[in-house]
């Protein structure tokens, strides 16, 4: 049996199971009192020297052939690399601060393409007030291929930090914006991370304060169970209420991923207050936190390693 387990490929196991195994190894080494939330949330959360604040830390990557295709406009690729990390900082209720970028690429990549990635990153960093403070480049052994890894720090007032844990029985489940068909429509390349909306909810709103939050990157059917798993709850979703993009169908809204909208639970929610603050961005209640999921969404969201 042992031998068989050792022979398994990552493609047999899938991303969630792989991450669970790796997290187990990391948690085993955990002993630092300064860590508030380690692996498993959108960002790592640490105590800060700044009184009343937490530090946030996030690492992420975009890979050619997985997160973008050869031929994708390079500036948009760079923009996406930064915006994905900003979206994770937003998903904690935080504000991004500094970023570092590691690029590994095949020797035949054009210099102009790499420069355009950086231009896209610099533009997005400026838009969200992030400073890119360092980077590293490495070659890949192949002629083609590219991995852009972004690491980002941020901060959040302790009382405004929203974790994946925190949902309670009966909480409303809601999403920002509209879902589905992000990859084919190329919305995944020019989405705006919900930083403004998140900050408003955690620090300004009277009655739009989420009890738990994450960003939607792998599709509702995969991400929603991740959100509720932390507290051991289930969900009851009304599919008819899921807000669809104009070019998307329900199946896509549930499975496609790459939406980078916020998925939240709310003990109470004043939809009118939201509408005044963000008249053009929907916030839609799509269901409720329940003890056990009786009708699971079809789990066909994007999964790394499964082919």
Residue 14 or 267 with smaller CB distance to its own copies? 14
**Token pair recorded at residue 33:** 């009192």
CA distances from 6 to 9, 11, 12, 304 (A): 8, 13, 12, 20
CA distances from 253 to 184, 238, 305 (A): 12, 13, 22
Q: Does 244 bind its own copies (CB under 8 A)?
A: no
- Judge residue 217's burial from the number of C-beta atoms within 10 Å of its C-beta, 0-12 exposed, 13-18 middle, 19 or more buried: buried
Residue 125 or 269 with smaller CB distance to its own copies? 125
Residue 60 or 231 with smaller CB distance to its own copies? 60
To the nearest 10°, the Cα dihedral for 12, 16, 22, 27? -150
Q: Does 53 bind its own copies (CB under 8 A)?
A: yes
* Residue range at the interface with its own copies (CB under 8 A); choices 9-17, 189-197, 201-209, 257-265: 9-17
Cβ–Cβ under 8 Å, residues 300 and 219: yes
Residue 109 or 209 with smaller CB distance to its own copies? 109
Q: Does 44 bind its own copies (CB under 8 A)?
A: yes
Minimum Å gap between C-beta 293 and its own copies is 25
Q: Does 4 bind its own copies (CB under 8 A)?
A: no
What b/e string do you get for 78-101 counting C-beta neighbours within 10 Å, with b at 16 or more? bbbbbbbbbbbbbbbbbbbbebeb
Q: Which of residues 128-157 bind its own copies (CB under 8 A)?
A: 131-142, 145, 147, 149, 151, 153
Residue 134 or 232 with smaller CB distance to its own copies? 134
Stretch 64-93: interaction string toward its own copies, x if CB under 8 A: xxxx--------------------------
Minimum Å gap between C-beta 24 and its own copies is 9
Minimum Å gap between C-beta 276 and its own copies is 33
Sequence-separated (6 or more) residues with CB below 8 Å from residue 217: 84, 87, 223, 257, 258, 259, 260
Q: Which of 81, 83, 92, 125 binds its own copies (CB under 8 A)?
A: 125
Q: Categorise residue 206: left if φ over 0, alpha if ψ from -120 to 50, beta otherwise.
A: alpha
Q: What do you get for the CA distance between the two ends of the chain, in Å?
A: 25
* Residue range at the interface with its own copies (CB under 8 A); choices 45-53, 157-165, 234-242, 263-271: 45-53
Minimum Å gap between C-beta 216 and its own copies is 16
């Amino acid at each position: 049996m042992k031998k068989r387990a050792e022979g398994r490929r990552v493609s047999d196991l899938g991303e969630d199971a792989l991450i669970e195994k790796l997290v187990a190894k990391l948690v085993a080494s955990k002993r630092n009192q300064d860590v508030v939330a380690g692996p498993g949330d959108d960002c790592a959360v640490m105590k800060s020297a700044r009184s009343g604040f937490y530090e946030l830390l996030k690492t992420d990557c975009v890979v050619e052939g997985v997160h973008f295709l050869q031929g994708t406009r390079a500036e948009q690729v760079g923009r996406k690399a930064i915006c994905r990390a900003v979206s994770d900082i937003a998903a904690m209720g935080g504000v991004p601060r500094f970023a570092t970028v590691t690029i590994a690429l095949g020797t035949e990549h054009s210099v102009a393409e790499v420069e355009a990635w950086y231009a896209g990153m610099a533009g997005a960093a400026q838009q969200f007030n992030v400073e890119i403070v360092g980077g590293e480049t490495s070659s890949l052994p192949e002629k083609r291929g590219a991995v852009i890894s972004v690491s980002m720090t941020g901060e959040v007032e302790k009382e405004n930090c929203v974790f994946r844990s925190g949902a309670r029985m009966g909480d409303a489940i809601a999403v920002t914006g509209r879902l589905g068909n992000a990859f084919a429509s190329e919305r995944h390349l020019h989405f705006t991370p919900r930083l403004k909306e998140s900050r408003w909810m955690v620090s300004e709103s009277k009655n739009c304060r989420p009890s738990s939050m994450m960003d939607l990157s792998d599709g509702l059917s995969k991400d929603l169970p991740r959100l509720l798993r932390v507290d051991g709850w289930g969900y009851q979703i009304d599919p008819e209420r899921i807000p669809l993009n104009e070019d998307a169908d329900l199946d896509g809204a549930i499975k496609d991923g790459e939406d980078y909208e916020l998925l939240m639970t709310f003990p109470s929610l004043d939809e009118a207050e939201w509408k005044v603050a963000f008249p053009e961005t929907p916030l839609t209640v799509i269901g409720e936190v329940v003890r056990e999921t009786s009708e699971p969404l079809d789990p066909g969201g994007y999964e790394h390693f499964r082919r």
